[in-house]
Chain A
């Protein structure tokens, strides 16, 4: 039992602590692709430390909601980090690892973030919240459609079961998963405020979405928000990896596989991060009005995945 708890704690801490590293890695790759030397992989940690050391400034009319939101958001993300099967499939929390619950968890964090953004009453916050909700209302159905394809293949919406089915059964080509994979990448870009939907590197008022929402935050609040964001990216990548490249994950009860699983996970994350950087480097940001089109495409691909599953794989 303690062993179980230990493994659970280990995974949660690993994801939470390693999350800024992934962000730093993506930024570094992007810098290389743009022929810059870049700030180094560890830059996000330095930023976080700097922010934690500062004194927080709150708006005069900020309510309790504004103050608790960073903790709620961070909590949601940390919880998400602990239920996604990253290293092994039989963690104590894994019965809770239902994909629909996971989508709901993200939605909860988002609702708090949007409310807090509007709480202070500045124009940018409200605008950001509105845009975020527009994107979310399109991305969430698409995300659900994406996860339905692997659920249909494995006959369950529990992430652990899906991963078990995909990773430890005989190798088979699932064309529907190709559709779902492409759609998942598109949704992930939108949900994590990456190019082409949003640009995390600028504060240009006409285009920013996510940054507009957290514009009023400072110091430890901001640090938690940024950190939560990094965890979100990591969790998304972990879910993607678990669904579409599940090989190497430790089988239930197989502790000897753990070190290999950690190496495999790190390698997959590094490759995924580099891929994300390439994607961001080669594409341009879309106008906000084109975002529905982009997400509509993702939704369509996900539906196609389900349809091809019904046609080809039964």
Chain B
């Protein structure tokens, strides 16, 4: 079965999303992590534009613009400013046991693909095959948040998860209604600002951005 070119392109971009999600999972350097995040935003934008073009959904172009501004320009810029101000540009995180994390990641991908199978059979979009990838990238970002010990990578994981969700919305339904999308974008932006404020508060209090310090409150 040969798919139309646009569908092939979308599939390729979807695979890139997945590849980037894995790259982020394994990336130790904070700076490269931000680059990867921006790249993911760019892939997302291109994907949205391709979908918009091939389905003549004009509102998707707006959301592509929104993605471009928010996720490729504004958020990475804020993150760059943050790591400059916090002086952690060259921080490298010690990740234990990447192969195990990767293995768990693969299991998550299989799980996501299986979950997505019935859904994608129902979706009427040309992008339906990519729902599984969207779900997988959401789960992988979640895994990234769990495995990270530093504040900034955790936040990048959080933002990457939002990317995955956006991707899911585009591939399953050609995007959410505009009101909702604007609301989500606003929440993400405000969330990032609050994260930024948090970094400074945490640094001020602990002299470090290591989440290890944030593990005092446990049930005895």
Query: A residues engaging B (CB < 8 A)?
Result: 170, 172-173, 175-176, 178-179, 182, 292-293, 296-297, 300-301, 303-304, 307-308, 310-314
Q: Does B164 contact A (CB under 8 A)?
A: no
Interface membership of chain B positions 5-28, coded 1 if the CB is closer than 8 angstroms to chain A and 0 otherwise: 000110110111011001000100
- Tell me how far the C-beta of B122 lies from the nearest C-beta in chain A, rounded to whole angstroms: 15
- Tell me how far the C-beta of A145 lies from the nearest C-beta in chain B, rounded to whole angstroms: 11
- CB-nearest residue of chain B to A296: B99
Bound-state CA distance A308–B17 (Å) is: 12
Residues of B contacting A308 in the complex (Cβ-Cβ under 8 angstroms): 15, 18, 133
Q: Which residues from 87 to 122 on chain B have a C-beta closer than 8 Å to any C-beta of chain A?
A: 98-99, 102-103, 105-106, 109-110, 113, 116
Residues of A contacting B132 in the complex (Cβ-Cβ under 8 angstroms): 311
Contact of B11 with A173 in the complex, beta carbons under 8 Å: yes
Contact of B22 with A300 in the complex, beta carbons under 8 Å: yes
**Could you list 19 examples of A-B contacts with CB < 8 Å?**
A170-B2, A172-B3, A172-B8, A173-B8, A178-B15, A179-B15, A179-B19, A300-B22, A300-B102, A300-B106, A304-B19, A307-B106, A307-B110, A308-B18, A308-B133, A311-B132, A312-B11, A312-B129, A313-B11
Q: Does B130 contact A (CB under 8 A)?
A: yes
Which of A292, A296, A303, A313: most chain B CB closer than 10 A?
A296
Contact of B9 with A307 in the complex, beta carbons under 8 Å: no
Given contacts A170-B2, A300-B22, A307-B109, contact A178 B99 (CB under 8 A): no
Bound-state CA distance A293–B28 (Å) is: 13
- Tell me how far the C-beta of B192 lies from the nearest C-beta in chain A, rounded to whole angstroms: 29
- Tell me how far the C-beta of A183 lies from the nearest C-beta in chain B, rounded to whole angstroms: 11
B interface size (C-beta, 8 A): 28
Q: A304-B18, A311-B116 given. 4 additional CB < 8 A pairs?
A: A292-B99, A293-B99, A304-B22, A308-B133
Bound-state CA distance A173–B3 (Å) is: 9
Query: B residues engaging A (CB < 8 A)?
Result: 1-3, 8-9, 11-12, 14-16, 18-19, 22, 26, 98-99, 102-103, 105-106, 109-110, 113, 116, 129-130, 132-133
- CB-nearest residue of chain A to B95: A293
Picked from B9, B16, B18, B26, the residue with its CB within 8 Å of the CB of A297 is B26
- CB-nearest residue of chain B to A175: B15
Picked from A170, A178, A293, the residue with its CB within 8 Å of the CB of B98 is A293
- CB-nearest residue of chain B to A170: B2
Residues of B contacting A178 in the complex (Cβ-Cβ under 8 angstroms): 12, 15-16, 19
Residues of A contacting B22 in the complex (Cβ-Cβ under 8 angstroms): 300-301, 304
Bound-state CA distance A172–B6 (Å) is: 11
- Tell me how far the C-beta of B117 lies from the nearest C-beta in chain A, rounded to whole angstroms: 8
Given contacts A173-B11, A297-B26, A304-B106, contact A311 B129 (CB under 8 A): yes
Contact of B14 with A312 in the complex, beta carbons under 8 Å: yes
Contact of A312 with B110 in the complex, beta carbons under 8 Å: no
Picked from B9, B18, B109, B129, the residue with its CB within 8 Å of the CB of A173 is B9
Bound-state CA distance A178–B1 (Å) is: 19
Residues of A contacting B113 in the complex (Cβ-Cβ under 8 angstroms): 307, 310-311
Residues of B contacting A307 in the complex (Cβ-Cβ under 8 angstroms): 106, 109-110, 113
Bound-state CA distance A301–B16 (Å) is: 12
Contact of B102 with A297 in the complex, beta carbons under 8 Å: yes
Residues of B contacting A296 in the complex (Cβ-Cβ under 8 angstroms): 98-99, 102-103
Bound-state CA distance A170–B18 (Å) is: 26
- CB-nearest residue of chain A to B129: A312
Bound-state CA distance A301–B15 (Å) is: 11
- Tell me how far the C-beta of A179 lies from the nearest C-beta in chain B, rounded to whole angstroms: 7
Residues of A contacting B3 in the complex (Cβ-Cβ under 8 angstroms): 172
- Tell me how far the C-beta of B49 lies from the nearest C-beta in chain A, rounded to whole angstroms: 17
- Tell me how far the C-beta of B13 lies from the nearest C-beta in chain A, rounded to whole angstroms: 8
Bound-state CA distance A182–B20 (Å) is: 13
Bound-state CA distance A301–B130 (Å) is: 18
Residues of B contacting A314 in the complex (Cβ-Cβ under 8 angstroms): 1
Contact of A175 with B11 in the complex, beta carbons under 8 Å: yes
Bound-state CA distance A293–B102 (Å) is: 10
Bound-state CA distance A308–B1 (Å) is: 16
Residues of A contacting B2 in the complex (Cβ-Cβ under 8 angstroms): 170, 172
